[in-house]
Amino acid sequence: MLLPRIIPSLLVSSGGLVKTTQFTKPKYVGDPINAIRIFNDKEVDELIVLDIDASKMGSAPNFDLIKEFASECFMPLCYGGGIRTLDHAKELFSIGVEKISLQSAALVDLAIISEIANYAGSSSVVVSIDVKKNWRGREEVQSFCSVKLENNNVSDLLRSAVDAGAGEILFNCVDNDGLMRGMNLELIKKITSEVGIPVVAAGGAGSMSDIRAAIDAGASAVAVGAMFVFHGPHRAVLITYPNRTELELMMK
């Protein structure tokens, strides 16, 4: 049985592993290297690591730290955070990163998408967008790194990213982030219907049924944070991942 990609998504801040709720109040949850080793043992197929500080601070990727991540990973690694130039991407590829996740740089200049796609192929370029409802209840692309958006229309930005050469979209639902109460299925349906490339949905998964619902809504993959880090009503830190039997049962 061909199983959907269910991808642990790790957030890094000041070198530590953190988890946010609606993109606020990052909570320290441990050592990212230890988390990577646990996911290795659980035979995870793919991993996303996002540095949530680099772009905000205007700093380049922490190549030494990412090299440690890549050397520990037994699975393909997607990294995002602080990538602003083709040289940054080349360095990341050289140390073992398979996919580059772009957000702030792509919002500023779509040319960075094309440059990296021309160098490494579209399949290596992921464009990440954060979507949040405004005070009128309208969903729009948000920037959390002081990037001024001339156009925050979700559909327009998706089309521009695909036209520029993106091979995959990582869609984060800010309003659902970390709550583990289910994913924004209507928005997943909208986004996946508008792009002809794989969409990785993130934000709100709290159960296997939530993940299945996102796949049924059109997502090619689901990125999961809190569900694989927290356990129980008191959100004790416990890194988990479903085994193959659980994944097969989910898809029946």
Catalytic positions, written as ranges: 130
* CA count, 13 A, side-chain hemisphere, 68: 12
Q: Distance between CA 182 and CA 213 in Å, rounded?
A: 9
Q: Distance between CA 215 and CA 99 in Å, rounded?
A: 21
* CA count, 13 A, side-chain hemisphere, 159: 9
Helix (H, G, I), strand (E, B), or coil: what is residue 98? Answer: coil
Helix (H, G, I), strand (E, B), or coil: what is residue 72? Answer: helix
| 219 conformational bin, left if phi > 0, alpha if psi -120 to 50, beta if neither | beta
Q: Distance between CA 115 and CA 20 in Å, rounded?
A: 31
Q: Are 17 and 31 in contact (CB under 8 A)?
A: yes
Q: Distance between CA 137 and CA 154 in Å, rounded?
A: 14
Amino acid code (one letter) for 41: D
Amino acid code (one letter) for 209: S
The number of beta carbons lying within 10 Å of the beta carbon of residue 48 is: 25
